[in-house]
Structure 1
Amino acid sequence: MRLDLLRAALARRGPFTRVLVAEVKGSTPREAGAELWVWADGIEGTIGGGRLEHDAIAAARRGETGSQRVALGPDVGQCCGGALVLALERVDADWIARTKAAEVFARPLGGAPEMPLAVRRALARARDRGEAPKRWIEGWLLEAPAPAPTPLWIWGAGHVGRALVSVLAPLPAFEITWIDTAENRFPEGENGLRRIIAPEPARAVALAPREAAHLILTYSHAIDLELCHALLAHGFSQAGLIGSATKWARFRSRLRALGHGDAQISRIACPIGDPTLGKHPQAIALGVASGLLREKRATGPASSGHEQEGRAG
């Protein structure tokens, strides 16, 4: 649960109904944890579209709260074949305050008002062992704050940079900072992203948190090399550089001459992406994004926000 995003949505547009996929069984359009926010005049997010989402939006606008168990085939005529539980809650300032005060926010949304033993045990394991609780237990919804998103610095607003942002920006797992040398390098309409205009990009490396991941794909090999040099001195969790094996061989030689050891240099991944997908900017972006998501999932919540030895490619 990203409480910061919920709080921001409340401040931006006022109270809303949060529709959360609390539990899934079998094939469903989205995974448990997917959510949709519903206002009278708009929505944000998705629980998978189709009749399921249409009916959920209508229920939210009627003011319904609580839980709904939906068998996708019999109930809404969707061919996924699975079943799920939707939890509907009104998000307002009081809800935010109650959520913020709880290490794990547990509340009944269809079960008995008295906390079941299974819920108490799950809360105890979360408190004593740091164990992530099951989300849906006997009609009770349990949520812990989600780990902070990974700071992701994208160096370059050319074709590949734009493709990467288009793929990665909607994902809550990443908090993007986008850097290039001039304002006119950026496309119009990319609002909500932090941008840095840096005529000398390597000097901006000092602004990055040391747990950030970096993708280097500027228009200049000289700038790329300066960024690699600066990042190796500064520290990072992951770094990827666009380029060929020949480019990387030359960079490795030059980085050694600048005083970096092979073990450190090898932490930069080059080339990036999945070569089997091709060299089209969107294909590169898809390969890089899938690698970042796999890494994020593999490290898990306990590792979020800490320096890792993984690669961005």
Structure 2
Amino acid sequence: MKLARFSPAAGGVVRIGRVEGDEIVELSGVPGVSTSLRALIPQLPELREALEAASGPRHALADVHLHAPIDDPQKYLGIGMNYKEHAAEAAAAGIPTPTSQLWFNKQVSCITGPTDDIVKPAISDELDYEIELGVVIGEKCRHVSVEDARSVIAGYLVTNDVSVRDWLQKRSPTFTLGKSFDTHGPIGPWLTTDDEIADPLDLHMQLTVNGQVRQDFDTNDMIYDIYEQIAYLTQVMTLMPGDILATGTPAGIGAPTGRFLKVGDVVRAEISGLGAIENRVVAEG
């Protein structure tokens, strides 16, 4: 299933729906469905049949506003330099390749919707983009083995790990501040459940800026795959339903060439089988 949070384009109450082609079917009539997809995730196994069969009101996707599928995760974590080609371009710029998994927090207040604006901070001229496969955790878990890691995944979404480079590399060496500006976590367009994807390690990713291709890679270029990531993290912490893992970006980011985002730019990030998010860069008001 493809599960989305949406509201009528003119405003109104947020609802959860099932995406079918160019339409979305309301699921409000299914017992247990509220406006929170995070709250629904632990119930997906028992509610799946009802969710798939529900025949509530239908809306054209073009007529609704899509919200961030999960706007209230307990954790939004990202891994740095986890694609071989990206690590190589970073090394060429003098940034050493980590010898183990390098994780950082994106504060959850950065999350925004799949078509909402990205605000360029007035204090920075080094606004960068990073397409990433987002993994959403489906159950409370700790000490998960690599072999069992897929069983704790609820599904996937497209993320753009927007980064403020002059804060990331110069003013906040822990990455957290440079990764956590408001609106710098667009995700979506919906949650695609794990059963819809044959192999999440064989998906095509492409990011364009104003229609120009900047990143164009497959998820099989990861240094640490998503199962190794889950096993590594759960040695340290309990992952909860709805937690989001941004699993690394491929080569082509703006930093090595200085091609940073400008006001008016339109950034489109698309992953095969998961859909696309598209966000315009606006000035901080």
Query: TM range, normalised to the smaller chain?
Result: under 0.3
Q: TM-score, normalised by structure 1?
A: 0.21
Richer in helix (by share): 1
Q: What TM-score do you get using the length of structure 2 for normalisation?
A: 0.23
If asked which structure has higher relative contact order (CA below 8 Å, sep 6+), I would say: 2
Higher strand share: 2
